[in-house]
Amino acid sequence: MLPETYLKAGITLALAGKQKEARQAFQDLIHLYPDRPEGHYNLGLLAQRETRLDEAEAHLRRALALKPDYTEALYALGLLLKDSQRPECAAAVLFLAAKLNPASPYTYFQLGLVLHTLNHLDGAKACFTMALDLKPDFAEAYNNLALVVAAAGELHRAQFYLDQALAVRPNYTEAYNNRGILLSQAQLPEEAVRAFRQALQLEPGNPVTHNNLGLTYQKLQRLPEALSSFQTALELQPHYVEAHNNLALILHELNRPVEAITHLNRALALKPDFALAATNLVSVLNKLNRFSEAEACLRQALTYHPGRPGLLRRLALILRKQERYTEAEDYYQQAIQNGAPAKTAEAVFGLGTLYLLQGRYRPGWDYYEKRLIAFSYSQPPLPSWQGENISDRRLLLFFEQGFGDTLHFIRYATLFTSLATAVGVVVQKPLLRLLAHSLDCPVYAEGQVPLEEYDIACSLHSLPYRFGTEEASIPTAIPYLKPPVTQVTKWRKRLADLMPGRPRIGIVWAGNPRHDNDHNRSIPFSVFRTLPERHPQIHWISLQADDRAADLTDGDSAILNVSAELNDFTETAGLISHLDLVITVDSAVAHLAGALGKPVWILLPLDPDWRWLLTRQDSPWYPSARLFRQSQTGGWQAVLEQVTAALLDEAAASSTRKKP
């Protein structure tokens, strides 16, 4: 029989699903006509269809050895190499196929896909454009051209190409899905939701679209809907690793950490080298203070990604929380050594806070300054002061982080009296009245600064570094804040009904809930309330602000609740001026009381903020402060027992002083 007869028979059998008989026909063709490439080509296609890829590649390469310009075999081999995750080899083969057959839009399309994978965006764009020149109704080419130009930052152009794809094929689910992704990237999440819903109307069983819709709901903080979307994605595809990870993040935000851990463990079981799931699991375990498990997770992740700076930095943090400071320092150093400066800034900053915690100020300030690279803070559009002579310059100081940070570092503003021609300070609005009254320089709220009146700027946080602060040179001219007389008078009258002779103690049991260590540094009110309940002879006055002030109920008659009247720090300072003592967790009120020179007892978690140092009971920053520390994570009851003992000692000492 002629070779064409065997070839036609084999193709007919293959189309009829008779793979075994088709394979025999092609083998017979090869046996009888060994110089004909068609038998090897078709055996390659059969083997590729049955995922016997090594065998398929061997047949296709044999076909090409017999006929080097066999464009169909080149195309098939290019697809096989692409699907085998060998994009460089696939690109070379498909480039040759396109050169030999420049009229094939599909070859240009597949070459474009491979070049996009290799991040050769210009080449991919050229290939998809060529495919469209040859086939103007090629919806897939429009769709992928949109992805390429989007990757180059041309989001509006990408939307145009997706519109073209949908004009050609109105029911193109993938184009609607990609439209949703691009709209989300363009910060148009509501429109993205509509696009994903359109995709799901066409293909309701697509788990990827449900996952993408969940991510968009998450961006909109529509957490219940995000939860439902990720759950649906997993119902459709139980082994969907990314959906397990994304669902876990929502569960964590909804304060369902145990369920979050279950899904993150599932993601890692499915994909053990999934570094993002590992770091998310560490975040959840960290919030639960399950440090040993977090450490084990990171060490496992490092076996798959040795030397990855982000993992090393997180391990250093977990070791620090376990008071293993030498090991923490070593892993911070490893993180810094294993990455580019822009990618290791957080590790440098973390090492800086570790040094400051240990009282190693000279290297600490140096590393702490790298926070400006690691994190985004708004600052005035003025040149940054680097410590040079500014005797003929006008300096603008500005806040950077929380209220407590501003109160802590504002002491440095007084040092510029003889250093600069003029000094101004930008602060948060709730601090404006107090600092304007306390400082001998202009004080502005954010957004109200006359920038034309200043030449140069510096963050308050950078001043210890610029001044080379050591413990012995900390500015301790206390008090450096003072409440206005009007507030002092107002609060004297407000407290006039309190029984004279009894101590007046202000209390704060919770700090800023957005602080990343708030779960450790704030005390549950159910635990804290035992302190005032055990000392009814004391006038307890709540200085608690924000949502946690609602912890007080009508049943807490032992505590005077004036939280609603503390509408800024000037009011709080006026009230504190009439107190004998402030007892507070690490909060802005701790810094306020210290800056006013008022006796303040600060209750600290096992892993404290760097400024409170380690082990010591006093603070070089606030001479009037006394520190009470946890001996184990979560051990607030023991801390409150220390406070009770100290209160009894104070009462006994006071009684002794009053005796004639």
Report in angstroms the alpha-carbon separations of 235 from 208, 230, 287: 12, 9, 28
CB 183 within 8 A of CB 191: yes
Given this model, what pLDDT does residue 553 score? Answer: 79
Q: Can you name the residues that pair with 603 across neighbouring β-strands?
A: 585, 628
Q: What angle do CA 114, 118, 120 make, to 5 degrees?
A: 95
Pairing of strands 394-398, 422-427: parallel
Instruction: Say whether 485-657 and 69-143 share the same fold.
Output: no
Given this model, what pLDDT does residue 554 score? Answer: 64
d(C-alpha 569, C-alpha 437), whole Å: 12
Per-residue pLDDT reduced to its tens digit, 252-267: 999 999 999 999 999 9
Pairing of strands 443-445, 456-459: unpaired
Cα–Cα nearest to 351, from 586, 607, 606, 610: 610
d(C-alpha 199, C-alpha 165), whole Å: 14
d(C-alpha 400, C-alpha 428), whole Å: 9
Given this model, what pLDDT does residue 1 score? Answer: 65
Strands of 49-185 (E only): list them. none
Kindly tell me the burial class for residue 485, based on how many C-beta atoms sit within 10 Å of its own C-beta (0-12, 13-18, 19 or more).
exposed
SS3 at position 282: helix
Q: pTM for this one?
A: 0.84
CB 501 within 8 A of CB 618: no
d(C-alpha 485, C-alpha 166), whole Å: 70
Per-residue pLDDT reduced to its tens digit, 90-144: 999 999 999 999 999 999 999 999 999 999 999 999 999 999 999 999 999 999 9
SS3 at position 422: strand
- What parts of the chain have a pLDDT lower than 70? 1, 6, 554-556, 654-660
The fold of the 69-143 domain, in CATH, is 1.25.40
- For 616, what's the count of Cα atoms within 13 Å in the CB-facing half-sphere? 15
Given this model, what pLDDT does residue 22 score? Answer: 82
Residue ranges per domain, the chain? 1-67, 69-143, 394-473, 485-657
d(C-alpha 606, C-alpha 295), whole Å: 18
The fold of the 1-67 domain, in CATH, is 1.25.40
Instruction: Measure CA of the first residue to CA of the last residue in the chain; give whole Å.
Output: 130
Q: Can you name the residues that pair with 332 across neighbouring β-strands?
A: none
d(C-alpha 439, C-alpha 410), whole Å: 9
485-657 has which CATH code?
A: 3.40.50.2000
